[in-house]
Chains A and B, each alone.
Chain A
Amino acid sequence: GAVVSQHPSWVICKSGTSVKIECRSLDFQATTMFWYRQFPKQSLMLMATSNEGSKATYEQGVEKDKFLINHASLTLSTLTVTSAHPEDSSFYICSARGGFNEKLFFGSGTQLSVL
């Protein structure tokens, strides 16, 4: 099946620093990628939808200036958590879809811990 690679798997950073998470589709071109966030013992919550070559669409309550999304190519989307704070500590997961009606495949997730 299709493979979505997410990097890094985990990151620890100091408060106030920025962290970039990469999501790559390895064997297909992803026209759309989705970014989710998951807190402990909770379900996945959609943060934003990114389409290649256009601005991301953010869900209500998600700060676009804090969570910068770039989808510059059909195989790569990045999420940058700017000026991270301890409350941003969470499990971030990306997913990618090839065609419009294709099923979604998920990355392995990134555990972010902000000290």
Chain B
Amino acid sequence: DAKTTQPTSMDCAEGRAANLPCNHSTISGNEYVYWYRQIHSQGPQYIIHGLKNNETNEMASLIITEDRKSSTLILPHATLRDTAVYYCIVRDNNAGNMLTFGGGTRLMVKP
């Protein structure tokens, strides 16, 4: 799997949008972009994934650049419970392989 680069940490004010960037410049055509988050002392939680098109679900939106070399996870109205480590991962679904976790971004939502 290609590697990803994320900022180590970010702060966000409660109620504002949190925009978490991820670089994946070596992503291949078959690789999807996945986002998971891990709240302290819990297992990772799936958020969203996409291949080329932007995606939106009840948790977040995923914006993927046209060249697919970077993406942004958007939490539209961050709450204190969104404080967590957010992992951006690229994975070839057809390879059926595991997820390789990088360092992630520690998002702190502040009141």
Contact = CB atoms under 8 A, between A and B. Distances in A.
Interface of A: 1, 4, 6, 32, 34, 36, 43-46, 49, 91, 93-95, 97, 100-101, 103-109, 111
B98 A49 contact: yes
Contact of A109 (B41, B94, B96, B101): B41
Contacts of A109: 41-43
Contacts of B41: 91, 109, 111
A106 B93 contact: no
Contacts of B28: none
Contacts of B103: 43
Interface residues of B, number: 21
Nearest to A106: B43
Interface stretch (B44-52, B60-68, B70-78): B44-52
